[in-house]
């Protein structure tokens, strides 16, 4: 494999690989020894960017909360390669949850406020067995948002929200303390990201360097607004779910449910993506890939990697064979013919799986 290219993260001096290793399944679908082997192979193949979150693995369960960070932490300690890795993790955003920092919740909700941020980063650093993380991301905003399939606007009313200024001041405290290097967002809108950037500029606070949002052939909603912001403001997109939870690999077509796969184990969480249009679009994309002698997963990942607003594509794998396949996307450039046919399918089946 040729050397994996790297791109600048926002306006920082941090260079991250075009493919990032996602760890969302570590600790549930993927056990610790296998996860360590996957991280070994990813790093040896040129990936220097690893993404985690305090609430992983997903689906969230009280007994596994934080387990993914623990697995990444044992790997970092065993390999002694902390300085070779750009390490990212996330604090849980606003949510109704019965077990995440019970004693710090506000009206039954986890919040992004002083007590939660301080508790969350300290717990993450302990699990990751490191003194700092390179990128600390807000997993979702501290306000009511449209996300995870909710495409109709819901008025948040007068719900109390932690201000953008307060959040940045709290995160700035973590930067000054040496616990984090840079700040990122996730599941964020263009308006929310712009408010963070505007507030940082006005108040001399750290600038947000990235936005980690869903992006795939089946969900290109961010192209309507967030993509423009990313390009004009040098705020890198970290594209998660580029295979839409494995759909674009084609492995679920014709009603197949492979053993150990996400839809097989957790269908109640992800079946909202199994729409008639989503299945039809997937069939077309898979057929297009095969027509051009491409692996469907490689085509989908290469498409995301080639987009001018994308900094890094997060690949989530549970097996070595999946990792080997996905790594192949690092050096594939799709032809104009393939790109044109992708656009034709997108025009017919526009964002069927948001």
Q: What share of the chain is helix, strand, coil (3-state, %, to 5)?
A: 45, 15, 40
* Strand pairing category for 86-91 and 133-138: parallel
Give the pLDDT of residue 150.
67
pLDDT of residue 146: 67
Q: What confidence score (pLDDT) does residue 299 get? A: 98
How much is the pLDDT for 297?
98
Calpha distance 100→29 (Å, rounded): 21
Computed from CA positions of residues 121, 122, 128, 131, in that sequence, does the dihedral angle turn out positive or negative? Answer: positive
* φ, ψ at 57 (rounded to 5°): -80, 165
In the beta sheet, which residues pair with residue 240?
Answer: 214
* pLDDT at residue 271, as a whole number: 76
CB 16 within 8 A of CB 58: no
The H or E element containing residue 325 is: helix 320-327
Residue 141 is predicted with a pLDDT of 95
Strand partners, 318: none
Catalytic residue, candidates 56, 136, 215, 252? 56
pLDDT at residue 258 in the model: 87
Domain limits of the chain?
6-247+260-273+303-335
DSSP H stretches of helix in 27-91: 32-44, 67-79
pTM of the prediction? 0.96
Extended strands (E) in 165-287: 180-186, 208-214, 236-240
Q: How many CA atoms lie within 13 A of 203 on its CB side?
A: 16
Q: State residue 28's pLDDT score.
A: 93
pLDDT value for 123: 98
Q: Is 269 one of the catalytic residues?
A: no
Query: Cβ(50)–Cβ(23) under 8 Å?
Result: yes
pLDDT of residue 26: 98
Query: So what's the pLDDT on residue 149?
Result: 64
pLDDT, tens digit only, all 354 positions of the chain: 457 999 999 999 999 999 999 999 999 999 999 999 999 999 999 999 999 999 999 999 999 999 999 999 999 999 999 999 999 999 999 988 889 999 999 999 999 999 999 999 999 999 999 999 999 999 999 988 766 666 677 777 777 899 999 999 999 999 999 999 999 999 999 999 999 999 999 999 999 999 999 999 999 999 999 999 999 999 999 999 999 999 999 999 998 888 888 888 887 777 788 889 999 999 999 999 999 999 999 999 999 999 999 999 999 999 999 999 999 999 999 999 999 999 999 999 999 999
Tell the CATH superfamily of the 6-247+260-273+303-335 domain.
Answer: NADP-dependent oxidoreductase domain (3.20.20.100)
Q: Which residues contact 237 (CB under 8 A, 6 or more apart)?
A: 210, 211, 212, 213, 215, 222, 226, 227, 230, 307, 309, 310, 311
Q: How far is CA 242 from the centre of its chain?
A: 9
């Amino acid at each position: 494999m040729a050397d994996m290219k790297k791109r600048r993260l926002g306006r920082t001096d941090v260079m991250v690989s075009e493919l990032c290793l996602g760890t969302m399944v570590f600790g549930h679908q993927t056990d610790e020894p296998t996860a360590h082997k996957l991280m070994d192979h990813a790093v040896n193949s040129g990936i220097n960017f690893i993404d985690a979150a305090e609430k992983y693995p997903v689906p969230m369960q009280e007994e596994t909360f934080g387990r993914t960070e623990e697995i990444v932490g044992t790997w970092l300690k065993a390999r002694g390669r902390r300085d070779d890795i750009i390490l990212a993790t996330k604090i849980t955003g606003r949510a109704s949850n019965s077990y995440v920092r019970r004693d710090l919740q506000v009206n039954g909700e986890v919040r992004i406020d002083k007590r939660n941020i301080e508790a969350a980063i300290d717990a993450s650093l302990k699990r990751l067995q490191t003194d700092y993380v390179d990128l600390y991301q807000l997993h979702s905003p501290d306000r009511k948002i449209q996300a995870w399939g909710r495409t109709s606007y819901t008025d948040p009313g007068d719900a109390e929200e932690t201000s953008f200024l307060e959040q940045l001041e709290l995160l700035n405290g973590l930067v000054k303390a040496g616990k984090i290097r840079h700040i990122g967002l996730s599941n964020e809108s263009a308006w929310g990201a712009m408010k963070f950037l505007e507030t940082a500029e006005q108040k001399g606070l750290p600038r947000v360097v990235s936005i980690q949002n869903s992006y795939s052939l089946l969900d290109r909603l961010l192209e309507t607004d967030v993509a423009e912001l990313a390009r004009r403001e040098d705020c890198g997109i970290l594209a998660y779910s580029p295979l839409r939870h494995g759909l674009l690999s084609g492995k679920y077509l014709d009603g197949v449910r492979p053993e150990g796969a996400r839809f097989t184990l957790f269908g109640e969480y992800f079946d909202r993506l199994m729409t008639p249009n989503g299945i039809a679009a997937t069939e077309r994309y898979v057929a297009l890939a095969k027509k051009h002698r491409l692996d469907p997963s490689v085509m989908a990942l290469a498409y995301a990697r080639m987009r001018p607003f994308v900094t890094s594509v997060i690949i989530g794998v549970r097996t070595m064979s999946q990792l080997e396949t996905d790594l192949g996307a690092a050096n594939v450039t799709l032809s104009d013919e393939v790109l044109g046919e992708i656009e034709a399918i997108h025009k017919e089946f526009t964002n069927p799986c948001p």
